[in-house]
Amino acid sequence: MLENQNRHTSNSAFLNLQIVMSTLLIFFLNGLTNGMLLFLIAAGLTIIFGVMGILNFAHGSLYMLGAYLSYSLVVQGKLNFWLALAIAPLIVALVGGILEILFLRRIYKQDVSFQLLLTFAFVLIINDSVRLFWGSAPLTTPLPQILQTSIAILDRTYPVYNLFIIVVAFLVGMGLWLFLSRTRWGKILRAAAQERTMLGVLGINVPRLFTVVFILSAWLGGIAGVLAAPLRTLSLELADQIIIESFIVAIIGGLGSLPGSLLAALTIGQINSFGILIAPAAQVAFPYILMAITLLFRPQGLFHRE
């Protein structure tokens, strides 16, 4: 009898432990999803800053454009999600290229405030264009068919699409890192970040390089938009919500540093997630507190090399 009861209590202790473990694991995965998506967006922001020295406020709007384009392709055009993932970011990249060639190119030599004003103008123009084309009512796109399931994690289930985002963002991050560290183009980009004038002297076409970088960054924003669309409502707030968090990530990581952005995005993701578990009332403030601490003690950001 006593033995039985003993076994029972140890059984329930084991069950409790399992519940705690699965809860923690799910909070961790939530944070990872959040962080990896944030990384995809912040990566584009940080590459532009690293190479061109431009703070692109319109990056969130390019992300929003990617999401809305995927709505047009998937819901209105009846294409499948994978085609949208291939096509929509290319269109966003094209828009980015046009913005760089027609506008940004003309103000590189001007004061930095011109860039801020110009990219802020892009925000207003893109947001109002989205409203003009797609309207202001909220829209949604469906989850891709084969990712509509969830998998068992201990005693819980977890949506496969979240894991998919983690994997894709990881792959894109790896691809970017390989591109920057192993290819000739990557070397040129890193050189541009260090010493732009010397690069020009060495015969590199710097204006064209800038166009390519801006297109690459817009393409990344577009990918993030398409990936986020099945999870997040398409509305005119989409851009405003994401740009602040992405800037926090870029600043904490060190503007221009890709590994820094990754670390910062993952940290913010976990803080966002576990903040809800530990201190729900103060959770909103944590990313800002982290940024304030970074700016106080390491104003150049975690990974920035001077």
Given phi > 0 = left and psi -120 to 50 = alpha, else beta, which region is 47? alpha
The closest of 19, 22, 15, 30 to 166, measured between CA atoms, is: 30
# chain residues binding another protein, by CB under 8 A: 42
The closest of 246, 263, 272 to 302, measured between CA atoms, is: 263
- Name every residue whose Cβ is closer than 8 Å to that of residue 114 and which is 6 or more positions away in sequence: 107
Binding pattern for the stretch 265-304 against another protein, x by CB under 8 A and - elsewhere: -------xxx-xx--xx--x--------------------
Beta carbons within 10 angstroms of residue 304's beta carbon: 16
Among 98, 153, 236, 302, binds another protein (CB under 8 A): 236
User: Closer CB to another protein, residue 210 or residue 247?
Assistant: 247
Alpha carbon distance 198, 200 (integer Å): 5
Token digits of residue 46: 């940080």
User: Closer CB to another protein, residue 26 or residue 252?
Assistant: 26
Query: Rule CB under 8 A: is residue 232 a binding residue for another protein?
Result: yes
The closest of 32, 35, 33, 45 to 176, measured between CA atoms, is: 45
User: Closer CB to another protein, residue 139 or residue 212?
Assistant: 139
User: Closer CB to another protein, residue 76 or residue 157?
Assistant: 157
Alpha carbon distance 110, 53 (integer Å): 12
Q: Number of C-alpha atoms within 13 angstroms, CB side, residue 115? A: 17
Query: Rule CB under 8 A: is residue 129 a binding residue for another protein?
Result: no
At its nearest, how many Å lie between another protein and the CB of residue 16? 12
Among 9, 21, 237, 299, binds another protein (CB under 8 A): 237
User: Closer CB to another protein, residue 131 or residue 187?
Assistant: 131
Start-end of H helices in 183-257: 184-194, 196-201, 206-228, 238-253
User: Closer CB to another protein, residue 23 or residue 300?
Assistant: 23
| 100-103-108-113 Cα dihedral, nearest 10 degrees | -120
At its nearest, how many Å lie between another protein and the CB of residue 268? 11
Token digits of residue 290: 């982290």
Query: Rule CB under 8 A: is residue 246 a binding residue for another protein?
Result: no
At its nearest, how many Å lie between another protein and the CB of residue 215? 26
Among 106, 131, 187, 298, binds another protein (CB under 8 A): 131
Among 82, 138, 282, 288, binds another protein (CB under 8 A): 138
User: Closer CB to another protein, residue 135 or residue 299?
Assistant: 135
Positions touching another protein (CB under 8 A) are 23, 26-27, 30-31, 33-34, 131, 135-140, 142-143, 150, 157-159, 161-162, 228, 230-233, 235-238, 240-242, 272-274, 276-277, 280-281, 284
